[in-house]
Structure 1
Amino acid sequence: MTQWWAPLIAVYLSIYLAATQHHRKALYPYAYRIKRETYTLINPTFQRSVEDVNLLFEILLDGMQIQDGEDGMLIPDAELASLRRVEKLEVICEDILPKRLSDIRRLTAELAGRRQRLSLQDFEKTVLTLVYTTQTLAHISNQHQREAWTEAVLQLFRAVQKDLKPS
């Protein structure tokens, strides 16, 4: 028997998150929209333990590609790609990370103006956006576009570096 109140809770949570985020602009607005028909993936975070951090490091070393379009994330190692825990990383890479240069510029402008440290979720997404932007830059041949994406990479790197400095 399905629980009749589950959709009601999902609606309540989305309204609550929208209300709490109203006072400040979210760095990653797509993180607060219900995706894939489940409220448990609102603002998902991949890294919740040291084991998750090590797994992400292994996935990145294996050559994970974050792409725009239907194939949002490709992991060359089929065994790593098949892990259930990777589902949240797929949601983050496919549905939440900004992929257009204009969206990345908006993000870097907001990051440059921040005075407080990033939350764990925002830091993780910023690093993954840096990975995506760097991978995109490697495939651009147009000089003007290359300069724009290079500037985005540098600004994202500065934001991550700033957040890692002791306060």
Structure 2
Amino acid sequence: MAQWWPLLIIGYLSMYLAAAQHHRKALYPSAYRIKRGAYSLVNPTFQHSKEDVDLLFEILLAGMQIQGGEHEMLIADKELASMRSVDKLEVICEDVLPKRLSDIRRLTAELARRQQPLSWQDFERTMLTLVYAAQTLAGVSSQPQREAWTDAVMQLFRAIQKDLRPS
């Protein structure tokens, strides 16, 4: 009997590690593969203070657009766009956020399965993904695409709403 307990412990530890890895699965894996090569941009986040939150709100109110193509983030207000801190927001919008509907559906499925609250980095990225999806929805004309993007927007909204509810 004494010879089986090491196998039992190894089996338990293997299951524990597999479960822990599943819970740590990155919602935004591209945040760890930034194309620009700067170490400081690995897992980038924009909001680090109340001033950053206010700045993001101001940028969104000024009409920031997250689009596909070569220049994916556009800020109409040139003064806001020229701010040095906006560089990280640009990296997040261009390199981290999912842009394809299939990627956003994968994200919403992962968000629906989550039991624990989002990290502040994932919350920020989910909010920006919601902004992108809503802006994309506004420009879609075909009914099937419109329905698919509407569903994605609603799923992202529900995930954010679920995260904001007190536990």
Match of residue 134 from structure 1 = 134
Match of residue 143 from structure 2 = 143
- For structure 2, the 5+ residue unaligned runs are 1-19
Are the counterparts in 2 of residues 35 and 42 from structure 1 also a CA contact under 8 Å?
no
Bigger Rg, structure 1 or 2 = 2
Listed as ranges, the matches of 1:83-162 within 5 Å are 83-162=83-162
Q: CA RMSD in A?
A: 1.4
CA distance, structure 2, for counterparts of residue 75 and residue 25 of structure 1: 32
- For structure 1, the 5+ residue unaligned runs are 1-19
Change (3 A) 1:98 1:70: same
Match of residue 44 from structure 2 = 44
CA deviation vs aligned residue, 1:9-54 (integer Å, no higher than 9, x gap): xxxxxxxxxxx97873210010011431211101111000000000
Instruction: Please report the TM-score for the alignment, with normalisation by the length of structure 2.
Output: 0.86
Count matched residues: 148
Q: How far off its partner does 1:56 sit?
A: 0.2
CA distance, structure 2, for counterparts of residue 21 and residue 60 of structure 1: 35
Q: How far off its partner does 1:68 sit?
A: 1.1
CA distance, structure 1, for counterparts of residue 122 and residue 48 of structure 2: 13
My pick for the range that moved more, 23-32 or 125-134, is 23-32
SS of alignment partner, residue 92 of structure 2: helix
SS of alignment partner, residue 45 of structure 2: coil
Match of residue 27 from structure 1 = 27
